């Protein structure tokens, strides 16, 4: 009889120990699964994002550059004021900050030409206002980087 009582007590102690371990690890497992879901969402957004600079131009002695970038991915790209734009002569380019309408050079602003947000198939027109004039015969570099790091770049000559 004592042996049976000891077995029952060991069984109860074992189940209690298992429950204590599960209670200790369940919050960590829950946090990990949340992190995995967030990581999967981030990877999915990066895979679904794609942009292509379709044209860039500027005129000799002008401080303005016009660039058109198309959303060729499968999701909308937001927020547009968090896009990074890099511009300059091919061997010496810098990040140009977003400035909005009527900004003070150097800066850039945008308009969406065939939609209300930068959805797939929509074209984003970037207008860069520089603190110097473009020079004829010079090759310039422009790179547009979406908020999640997906980018495209292009060289063009004035």
Residue 154 has pLDDT above 70, yes or no: yes
Residue 155 has pLDDT above 70, yes or no: yes
Helix, strand, coil abundance in the chain, percent, nearest 5: 30, 35, 35
Strands laid side by side in the 139-145 sheet: 94-96, 84-89, 139-145, 151-157
- Residue 154 CA to residue 122 CA, distance in Å, equals 19
Cis previous bond, 71, omega within 30: no
pLDDT in tens, 106-153: 999 999 999 999 999 999 999 999 999 999 999 999 999 999 999 999
Give residue 22's pLDDT band: very low, low, confident or very high (50, 70, 90).
Answer: low
As a residue count, the chain comes to 158
- Residue 80 CA to residue 83 CA, distance in Å, equals 5
Give residue 73's pLDDT.
Answer: 95
User: pTM for the whole thing?
Assistant: 0.74
Give residue 5's pLDDT band: very low, low, confident or very high (50, 70, 90).
Answer: confident
| Bigger pLDDT: 93 vs 13 | 93
Cα dist from 82 to 35, 77, 96, 158, whole Å: 24, 10, 12, 28
């Amino acid at each position: 009889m004592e042996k049976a009582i000891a077995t029952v007590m060991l069984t109860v102690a074992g189940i209690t120990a298992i429950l204590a371990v599960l209670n200790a690890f369940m919050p960590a497992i829950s946090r990990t699964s949340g992190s995995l879901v967030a990581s999967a969402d981030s990877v999915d957004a990066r895979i679904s994002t794609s942009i292509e600079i379709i044209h860039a131009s500027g005129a000799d002695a002008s401080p303005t550059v016009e660039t058109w970038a198309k959303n060729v991915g499968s999701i909308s790209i937001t927020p547009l004021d968090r896009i990074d734009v890099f511009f300059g002569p091919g061997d010496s380019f810098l990040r140009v900050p977003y400035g909005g309408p009527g900004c003070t050079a150097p800066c850039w602003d945008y308009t969406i030409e065939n939609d209300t947000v930068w959805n797939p198939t929509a074209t984003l027109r970037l207008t860069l206002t520089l603190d110097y004039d473009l020079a004829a015969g010079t090759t310039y570099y422009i790179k547009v980087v979406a908020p999640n790091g997906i980018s495209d770049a292009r060289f063009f000559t004035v």
